[in-house]
Structure 1
Amino acid sequence: MPPVQPNPKNKTSLTTFLRRAPSAPAAAASSQISSDPFEPLARSTPVRSSPAPVERPAPRSLAVDIPPSVLRPIAFRVFTKKHNLTLKSDALTLLCQFIGRRCGAEWRDSGSGEKLLDEVARRWKRAETAGKILVDGGDALKAVLKGMDVPGGDATGRSPLSRTSSTLSIDGGDIPSSMLLGGVQDTEMPEAEREEIEDAVDPAEYFKIVDAFEQPKMVYNMNKKLFERGPKPSLFPPPTAKTTLFRTRYNVIHSRILRNDSFLAPTYSKSSNANPKSFYKLTSISALLGRSGQNFLLFGMLQYSPSGILSLYDPTGEIELDTKLTQPLPDENANWFVPGMFVILDGMYEEDGRFTVYTALSPPPERREASAEIFGHVDFLGNGVSLDMSSPSGGGQQGSMMRKVELALTHIRWVAIGEVTLDQPKTLEALRKLFEKYSKEPPMLFILSGNFSSVPVAPGDNNAIRGYKENFDALASLLVEFPMICMNSTLLFIPGDHDPWASAFSGGSTAAWPRKAVPEVFLNRVKRVAKHVKCASSPCRLGYFTSEVVVCRDDIVGRLQRTQIRFAKPAQDDEMEVDGAGVEPTQSATQVDDDTKLARKLVKTVLDQGYLSPFLGNKRPVLWDFAHTLGLYPLPSALLLIEPFAAPFAVTYEGCHVINPGKFTHRRKARWIEYSPSDRRGEVIEESF
């Protein structure tokens, strides 16, 4: 379907449009769920299910009195363990009355009481009391409970959080409940309704490019266990900012691990035969003293000591590691381990003060939906869209409306191009082929990444600077031939290591991150030709309705391969023979090529660390006060990781879709990524030119 041309006369606001009554839902499509966390490279249809049958409302349950001593373990698990809040006794008494009145006698067996407590905690953190970790029974908690419109739960386990009213009021108007997200995800949207949304909503009004040097600084407060707005970052911070960088990374990942189900200690056991050691427990390095000969799980940062010995560091101390018996989990090809990464190590503390490592693994990531339950009230991009709006069950009516429109705009496309070396003639030929393909149906966004020159722009070299300007003038001359693209598409330029002015100090080698945008003085002629031209830093972030897309240009694969820590292979691997014949590889291993294995290894390494540059400062310099712009917590909706030295790929891991267009030109072929923001999936396209 061709993109709809913007028309200011027929555009209406999002809230005004969604007050209209929707059409009847169409039949649902079939869906398949894969157990493999890495989804296949091909584009997939969004998961949809058939509409739920109409149920008659169950009779309201009778209210019961819940003793505070009975509710306290569950409230402690939800408020303290999960949401990092502290309940006072008067608040616990108020919650006992509220849950007993709403959920009835089956509040525990049906699970409705725990779900209701979780909803209260999330609303407390989104309300005006956000930032207060002490929950008392005052007017603030009473206002939260009063604003919750929930029916009583029943013995069938039905969630008590479903709304009973047919319409909900927003800005003085009524919106049918069928317009909310549940109806959008569970049913196929009618084509007539989809076309009506496409005609009425201009997606450019809900699209924002967030430069790294303009991104708000959200600081994780370890004491309060929440994110707070930090001071404006500076290029010349105090020396303490360097240590704060690594300490913040440690605290964020450590709290993320403790929220994982494998590390949560049960508050009570349903069976007397339950194993009390059914969860994992992390131990600090300082707590190992005097406990030799015992096994422990340690968490910290890998780094070589001044004497050249691999060691583990955490805020309490350091310890030397013995990796002769170390086996990476799940296997050695799953991810890289380099100095500067945070890892979980399982081993034994020896009498001589060393720690013998048996297994090493990356910290488990946390899905974006799980992060939204805890920090849903935080606006990480500063565009007015909180994190819980991207969650299927959060964000209120406004979030549901935005997600509905985002799903309806299926004709919107973004095109991401890898290394575009404009000083090479074959690059301009490939660009002509690309623009010809989209000349009649231009996408909403073109992302062009550097290096825009095959050689770095040297400082003081007037010829190099003049040639760099002429390269963009040649691009402008090419764009003149495609007026539809110039009028309807946004051109976003992301710098590389050879682009000014970072190359003036690095000479094309590793420069400090984040990297400033390409100076707009070089794109004056491009701006006169194209209507929408933007230059952004590397990395930068794109906000589109409820989605967050991180765009990053970096040669990370080579740096990981050069600095990786190699563990000794077990001896039995070389002796794995049966009756003189070698063991045949599994079928799944033979079906995955080397490029796909490399892509999965890269994606898992970066997302597990939750950081775009998990290296030490001598390998990858970082502007200390802008390190928050490199963070990947919470996980974005999609990550555009532009790595020219890796083959193009599109991989999904823990709900985050990672795409790489690779190098733009390769053996007389042009390669790029076509990304669909509605279903958050990318497709690798390759054509000869």
Structure 2
Amino acid sequence: MSEISRLKSQINTRFSLGGFQIRSEASAFLAQQLELLDVTERKKWITNVANHVQGQCLRLPVVEKQHIELAIKEANHTGLDDTETIFRVISAFDVPSFVYCEEKKKFLPDTSKKNLLAVPEAKSKYICERYRLLWQKTCRHETFSRRTAPGSDAIGKKNGLILRKVENILSSSKMNDVVLLGLLTQLTEGRYYLEDPTGSVPIDISTANFSAGLFCEGCFLLAYGKYRDGVLKVDEVGFPFPELAANSRAFFGSVNSWGGPSKTLLKHSRNLAELEKANVEHNIVFLSDCWLDNPAVMEKLNHLLRGYDEFPPVAIVLMGPFTRTNENVYSLKPLFLKLGEMLSECEKLISQTDLVIVPSIDDPAAANILPRPPIPDALIEGLKNRFPRTILTSNPCRLQYCTQQIVVCRADLVTKLCRNTIHFPKEGLLEEHFARTIVNQSTLAPLTPIAFPTHWNYDAALSLYPLPDLIVIGDPCQGFHITEQDCTVMNVGSFPKSKFAFKVYYPSSKTVEDSQIPDEK
């Protein structure tokens, strides 16, 4: 066998392992390019080229010569690509949507057209997609896999359990050791049900043992108990099991599941990883409840901006509401102009820092529904003229700093979960229960549409799957930060109500610094 033929065989084998069929012309071309290299370098290049081809997101699993040429060109490129941005803000309306394919056991891009005025079927569709997402990751957990092992949760301590669907138990008059994954609902007043795409079953949770978390209508539960006479008598209640982001990403392939112009996920960029590691002092500042109509807030903001002008951060994220009262929409225009005048005196901030404006649901001019669009340009024109690096974005939004993924949401989410929970925990810290709830539910909105209105077609913007590196919540309650499943969950708190406290995030070390502007003596 000639050297070219041997190389072509290795190339065909490698691409076959990735699920591709490579044309003879393409494999011959690649073999000719690698012929003069030693054996070790050949293997590296074949793997590298195959990875770049996978990142091209081909419509058909057939590799042509032009695909190989493009992959070699990309592999030879040094430095940052145009799409390898150090910092980028991604609007909620630009977040890619994916659906889980049962046959292929992976997530595929959802190419359907979306608009804010959704058809009625969209409501059931987004809830079903949430269910499929949670179902597939729960089935992979060791509790329900063949190699069953004890888990940390109460439900996970029982061996040999089978995760069932509602239709499986409705066909029986009684059943023991039932484990159901379903949506907690009240189909009739005063009566709780667990619902999944196959049906619904009434549940009795009067004597159930609840695991840690805030359990509300509209969230998905794992319930363990006995089925008798048409009712599931629940003994133990928990959330769907969490999953590390690295494990979740394996089911998306190399496509960009985060958002932005890059075809591949920047989480895997070596260039950005090196920059992130080297810039240990780079940080992002977060503030919430920035009342520009409050003189005390403006004074402290001025103090903060002048202080950071000496050591500019990567970005300053200001979350609304930007007025304490919403009597007049156009009252915001002179207030942002005044903020722009303050920023115009900070020369280093102007050249080195991005100012990200995240509106709350109380800011003009949008409905009380998430995700909500940015504040209109007409109201921020004065600020943008004086500070060109102002970025108007949606609520929620996504940030990308090097390889770090950050979700920002200005909502009274902690308050709403506490207010709507059917079982308030008696032990543990509130921040632990909150972080566990949103991480295990894999969404920012584990509530009913009545308690937490959302645009059905844009549920992907609220998704926390795979888990980001940082989740930033702007709730007026006391600020905190906690780590859950290698994901930092942070509540900024209210800037004016917390004696002008704010949070600073250092991506290189993944640490959060609690900061406060002291009173002047």
Task: State the TM bucket, normalised to the shorter chain.
Answer: 0.7 to 0.9
Corresponding residue number in structure 2 for 1:430: 300
For 1:545, which of 402, 408, 413 is the aligned residue?
402
Are residue 681 (structure 1) and residue 503 (structure 2) matched? no
Counterpart contact for 1:599–1:651, Cα < 8 Å: yes
Measured on the aligned residues, the alpha-carbon RMSD in Å equals: 3.4
Are residue 484 (structure 1) and residue 348 (structure 2) matched? yes
Corresponding residue number in structure 2 for 1:577: none
Aligned positions of 1:249-288 closer than 5 A: 249-266=130-147, 278-288=159-169
**Structure 1 pair 387/636, CA: closer, same or farther in 2 (3 Å)?**
farther
Aligned positions of 1:187-586 closer than 5 A: 205-225=85-105, 226-266=107-147, 278-288=159-169, 289-329=171-211, 334-350=212-228, 352-385=229-262, 390=267, 395=268, 399-457=269-327, 464-502=328-366, 505=367, 511-566=368-423
| Distance in 1 between residues matched to 2:329 and 2:57, nearest whole Å | 54
**Structure 1 pair 657/376, CA: closer, same or farther in 2 (3 Å)?**
farther
Aligned positions of 1:109-128 closer than 5 A: 126=54
Are residue 642 (structure 1) and residue 520 (structure 2) matched? no
| Distance in 2 between residues matched to 1:129 and 1:213, nearest whole Å | 22
Query: Alpha-carbon deviation of 1:454?
Result: 0.8
Counterpart contact for 1:650–1:684, Cα < 8 Å: no
| Distance in 2 between residues matched to 1:319 and 1:208, nearest whole Å | 45
Counterpart contact for 2:257–2:265, Cα < 8 Å: no
| Distance in 2 between residues matched to 1:204 and 1:428, nearest whole Å | 36
| Distance in 1 between residues matched to 2:57 and 2:381, nearest whole Å | 48
**Structure 1 pair 260/213, CA: closer, same or farther in 2 (3 Å)?**
same
Q: What SS is found at the alignment partner of 1:433?
A: helix
Query: Alpha-carbon deviation of 1:538?
Result: 0.3
Are residue 663 (structure 1) and residue 498 (structure 2) matched? no
**Structure 1 pair 500/174, CA: closer, same or farther in 2 (3 Å)?**
closer
Give the stretch that moved more between structures: 304-313 or 213-222.
213-222
Deviations 1:135-180 (A, max 9, x none): 9xxx87xxxxx9xxxxxxxxxxxxxxxxxxxxxx9757599xxxxx
Corresponding residue number in structure 2 for 1:611: 443
Counterpart contact for 1:324–1:568, Cα < 8 Å: no
Number of residue pairs the alignment of both structures matches: 460
**Structure 1 pair 477/512, CA: closer, same or farther in 2 (3 Å)?**
same
| Distance in 2 between residues matched to 1:284 and 1:313, nearest whole Å | 9
| Distance in 2 between residues matched to 1:538 and 1:421, nearest whole Å | 17
Greater Rg by CA:
1
Counterpart contact for 1:335–1:605, Cα < 8 Å: yes
Q: What SS is found at the alignment partner of 2:133?
A: helix
Aligned positions of 1:620-635 closer than 5 A: 620-635=452-467
Q: What SS is found at the alignment partner of 1:238?
A: coil
Q: Which amino acid aligns with 1:407?
A: K
Scaled by the length of structure 2, what TM-score is found?
Answer: 0.80
| Distance in 2 between residues matched to 1:252 and 1:484, nearest whole Å | 45
Q: What SS is found at the alignment partner of 1:603?
A: helix
| Distance in 1 between residues matched to 2:56 and 2:425, nearest whole Å | 54
Percent identical pairs in the alignment equals 26
Corresponding residue number in structure 2 for 1:45: none
Q: What SS is found at the alignment partner of 1:374?
A: coil
Counterpart contact for 1:550–1:639, Cα < 8 Å: yes
Query: Alpha-carbon deviation of 1:308?
Result: 2.9
| Distance in 2 between residues matched to 1:558 and 1:128, nearest whole Å | 43
Counterpart contact for 1:372–1:388, Cα < 8 Å: no
Query: Alpha-carbon deviation of 1:370?
Result: 0.8
Unaligned runs of 5+ in 1: 1-78, 88-118, 141-145, 147-168, 176-196, 268-276, 458-463, 506-510, 570-588
Query: Alpha-carbon deviation of 1:373?
Result: 2.5
Unaligned runs of 5+ in 2: 1-16, 21-46, 149-157
| Distance in 2 between residues matched to 1:497 and 1:521, nearest whole Å | 18
| Distance in 2 between residues matched to 1:550 and 1:255, nearest whole Å | 23
Query: Alpha-carbon deviation of 1:248?
Result: 0.2
Scaled by the length of structure 1, what TM-score is found?
Answer: 0.62
| Distance in 1 between residues matched to 2:342 and 2:173, nearest whole Å | 70
**Structure 1 pair 346/130, CA: closer, same or farther in 2 (3 Å)?**
farther
Q: What SS is found at the alignment partner of 1:263?
A: coil
Query: Alpha-carbon deviation of 1:674?
Result: 1.0
Counterpart contact for 1:263–1:280, Cα < 8 Å: yes
Q: What SS is found at the alignment partner of 1:543?
A: strand
| Distance in 2 between residues matched to 1:567 and 1:522, nearest whole Å | 42
Query: Alpha-carbon deviation of 1:338?
Result: 0.4
| Distance in 2 between residues matched to 1:539 and 1:375, nearest whole Å | 22
| Distance in 2 between residues matched to 1:614 and 1:174, nearest whole Å | 43
| Distance in 2 between residues matched to 1:216 and 1:370, nearest whole Å | 19
Give the stretch that moved more between structures: 235-244 or 442-451.
235-244
